[in-house]
Amino acid sequence: MSSADDAPGLMVTEAPAETGAPEIGPPSPRHGEIVDALAAELGDGFLAHHYSAHDAWVRVAPTSWRQAGRICQEKLGLNYFCFIAGLDWQLAPDLGAEKRWDPDAEATEDPGDGPGNWSTGVAGGDTRFGVFARLYDVIRHVGLTLKTDAGDSAPRAESWVPLFRGADWHEREAWEMYGIEFDGHPGLRHLYLPGEFEGFPLRKDFPLLAREVKPWPGLVNVEGLPGEEGDEGEEAAES
Amino acid sequence: MSVTEQQKIAYVSAQAADARINFELETEGMTLSIGPQHPATHGTLRVLVRLDGEQVVWADPIPGYMHRGYEKLCEVRDYAQVTTLINRIDWLGSFANEVPFILAAEELMGIEAPPRAQYIRTVLFEMARIANLTLFLGDMGVQLGAITPVFYAFRDREYVLNLIEGATGGRFHPNFDRIGGLKDDLPKGWIDETKVVMRRIRRFCDEIDDLLVGNRIFENRCRGIGVIPRDIALEYGLSGANARASGIDFDIRRDEDSPLAWKHADWKVWTHPDGDSFARFWLRQQEVRESTKIVEQLLDGLPAGPIRAKTPARIRVPKGEVWMHTENPLGEMGYYVVSDGSPGGPFRCKIRTPSFSNVSIVPWLLRGVLVPDVITILASLYFILGDIDR
Confidence (pLDDT) at A20: 42
Query: Could you say which residues from 101 to 160 on chain A have a Cβ atom under 8 Å away from some Cβ of chain B?
Result: 101-103, 119, 121-122, 132, 134, 138, 141, 143, 145
pLDDT cut 90: percent of chain A above it: 5
pTM of the model: 0.81
Residue B249 sits at φ, ψ, to 5 deg, of -85, 85
Decide if A115 is inside a domain: yes
Cross-chain CB nearest to B356 (options A141, A169, A235): A169
In tens, the pLDDT along B213-223 reads: 888 888 888 88
- Range 18-37 of A in CB contact (< 8 A) with B: none
Q: Determine, for residues B336 and A52 on separate chains, whether the beta-carbon distance falls below 8 Å.
A: no
> Which of A122, A124, A127, A95 minimizes the C-alpha distance to A111?
A95
Inter-chain CB proximity A101 and B340 less than 8 Å: yes
Residue B178: C-alpha distances to residues A21, B117, B172, B181, B350 (Å): 31, 10, 17, 5, 20
Read off the pLDDT of each residue in A25-34 and give the average, rounded to a whole number: 84
Domains delineated in chain B: 61-389 (1.10.645.10)
Contact: B237, A99; criterion CB under 8 Å? no
Say yes or no for a CB contact (<8 Å) between A225 and B313: yes
ipTM of the shown complex? 0.82
Contact B362, B89 (CB under 8 A): no
| A10 part of a folded domain | no
- Give the one of A52, A54, A121 whose C-beta lies nearest to B338's C-beta: A121
Question: How large is the average pLDDT for residues A160-166?
Answer: 89
Mean pLDDT of the region A56-79: 88
Q: Which residues of A touch B255 (CB under 8 A)?
A: 141
Q: Looking at B80-89, B232-241, B323-332, which range is the least confident one?
A: B80-89
Can you tell me the distance from the alpha carbon of A158 to that of A62, in angstroms, rounded to the nearest whole number?
7
Whether residue A152 lies inside any domain: the answer is: yes
Shortest CA distance from B71: residue in chain A: A202
Taking the Cβ of residue B71 and every Cβ of chain A, the question of whether any pair is shorter than 8 Å is answered with yes
Looking at residue B151, its amino acid is F
- Average pLDDT over every residue of A198-210: 78
3-class secondary structure for A15-69? CCCCCCCCCCCCCCHHHHHHHHHHHHHHHHHEEEEEECCCCEEEEECHHHHHHHH
Q: CB B236 to CB A121 under 8 A?
A: no
The answer to whether the Cβ–Cβ distance between B322 and A235 falls below 8 Å is no
Q: Is the dihedral of CA B364, B370, B374, B379 positive or negative?
A: negative
Residue A59's CATH number:
3.30.460.80
B146-183 pLDDT, tens digit each: 888 889 998 898 999 999 998 988 888 888 888 888 88
Mean pLDDT for all residues in chain A: 72
Q: Which of B243, B256, B322 sits opposite A141 (nearest CB)?
A: B256
Q: What letter does residue B77 receive in the DSSP assignment?
A: S
Domain for residue A125, yes or no?
A: yes
For B330-349, write each residue's pLDDT tens digit.
Answer: 889 999 998 877 767 788 88
Q: Residue B335: closest CA among chain A residues belongs to which residue? A: A83
Is B255 in contact with A141 (Cβ distance < 8 A)? yes
Evaluated on CA atoms B278, B284, B287, B289, the torsion sign reads negative
CA distances for B235 relative to A30, A135, B201, B219, B356, angstroms: 22, 10, 35, 28, 14
| DSSP character at residue B261 | G
Burial class from Cβ neighbours inside 10 Å (0-12, 13-18, 19+) for residue B185 reads: middle
pLDDT of residue A19: 45
d(CA B281, CA B341): 44
pLDDT in the model for residue A93: 54
Give domain status of residue A234, yes or no: no
Cβ neighbours of B312 in A, within 8 Å: 228, 230, 232-233, 236
pLDDT per residue as tens digits for the range A94-126 = 444 444 333 344 444 444 443 344 566 777 777
Give the pLDDT of residue B10: 82
Mean pLDDT across B225-252: 89
| Yes or no, beta carbons of B357 and A101 under 8 Å apart | no
- Which residues constitute the domain of residue A48? 29-210
Q: Which of B131, B83, B57, B124 is nearest to B298 (CA)?
A: B124
Q: In chain A, which residue's Cα lies nearest the Cα of B364? A: A165
pLDDT of residue A101: 37
The stretch A20-31 carries a mean pLDDT of: 72
Subunit contact B343:A103, Cβ cutoff 8 A: yes
Residue A13 covered by a domain: no
Range A226-233 average pLDDT: 47
**Considering its fold, how many domains does chain A have in total?**
1
CA distances from B214 to B52, B184, B206, B209 (A): 32, 44, 12, 7
pLDDT averaged over chain B? 86
Residue B23 in this model has a pLDDT that exceeds 70:
no
Within a domain: residue A160? Answer: yes
Residue bearing the bigger pLDDT, B271 or B344 = B271
- Do residue B340 and residue A177 have CB atoms under 8 angstroms apart? no
Selected residues 26-55 of chain B with any CB under 8 Å from a CB in chain A: none
SS3 assignment, position A83:
strand
From the list A82, A202, A219, the residue facing B72 with the nearest CB is A202
3-class SS of residue A80? strand
Residue A112: CB partners within 8 Å, gap ≥ 6? none
CB contact under 8 A, A208 and B361: no
| Sign of the CA dihedral running B62, B65, B71, B75 | positive
Summarised one tens digit per residue, pLDDT across range B59-114 is 888 888 888 888 888 887 778 888 888 888 888 888 888 899 999 988 888 888 89
Tell me the average pLDDT across B289-318: 85
The per-residue pLDDT for B24 is 62
Distance CA B109, CA B106 (A): 5
Cα separations in angstroms, A140 against A31, A34, B256, B287? 10, 12, 10, 23
Q: Is the pLDDT confidence value at B246 over 80?
A: yes
Q: Going by DSSP bridges, is the β-strand pair A142-151/A156-158 parallel, antiparallel, or unpaired?
A: unpaired
Q: What is the pLDDT of residue A215?
A: 64
